[in-house]
Amino acid sequence: MKTLAPEYPFPAAVDDCWKSVLWVLVQGKEILQLDTTRLATGGSSAGGNLAAIMCQRAATLGWPEFSLQLLSVPVTDNTADTGNSESWKENEHTPALQAPKMMWYRNHYLPNESDRSHPEASPLLWEGEWSKLPYAVIVVGELDVLRDEGRAFGQKLRQAGVRADVHLMEGQLHPFIAMDGVLDAGREAITYFCDALRDTMYPASRTERSG
């Protein structure tokens, strides 16, 4: 059973994702013969939010160790709105994800306003050791309300000495990566992710290519 909002609001999705991480490390390792020494997480929009939070929870607990986080147009600050975010204000009425629509999603997932600043709802506000987080590849759309919080997340990683490759996709709306069949920007973003996965999980292949 999927625990989706509004029937199952925050923190149900976070807990579900953590259970999935634990399954991979225990049952998944045995059943699927997974190499759990090489772990990556990733997601888009709300999925990017959850992917970042998994890395932060792991860093807090000291286990497991993720090597990479792939974040597409991630929700990193559920306190952002048109009054405190430039990208929310600029793109309030752009197609695909208008500010009112984003608030509709937020109100269903986080009906309790006091939860919105919780770090497992807003990973940008996490107060843990950012230096313990993994390398990140982040793609954001220029015309997306979530643009600035994605870039801010990358900036905090860099300030902590963590590599963060942040790609601003010019002229793109929120769902561009899902339109890779017709948009060059979507294909380009997926290529960034695939290259990072290959180079992080299989570093020998990078050496072979450079040689």
Of 77, 87, 118, 174, the catalytic one is 174
Give the number of other CB atoms < 10 A from CB of residue 100.
10
Catalytic annotation present for 144 = yes
Q: Which residue has the tokens 């490390």?
A: 25
Catalytic annotation present for 174 = yes
In Å, how far are 1, 112, 175, 211 from 11, measured between CA atoms? 16, 11, 25, 47
Of 45, 85, 87, 122, the catalytic one is 45
Cα(22)–Cα(121) distance, integer angstroms:
20
Helix (H) or strand (E) holding 166: strand 164-169
* DSSP secondary structure, 177-193, as one string: GGGTTT-HHHHHHHHHH
Of 77, 85, 144, 148, the catalytic one is 144
Strand 40-44, strand 135-141: pairing: unpaired
Catalytic annotation present for 114 = no
Q: Which residues pair with 169 in a beta bridge?
A: 141
Q: List active site positions.
A: 45, 144, 174
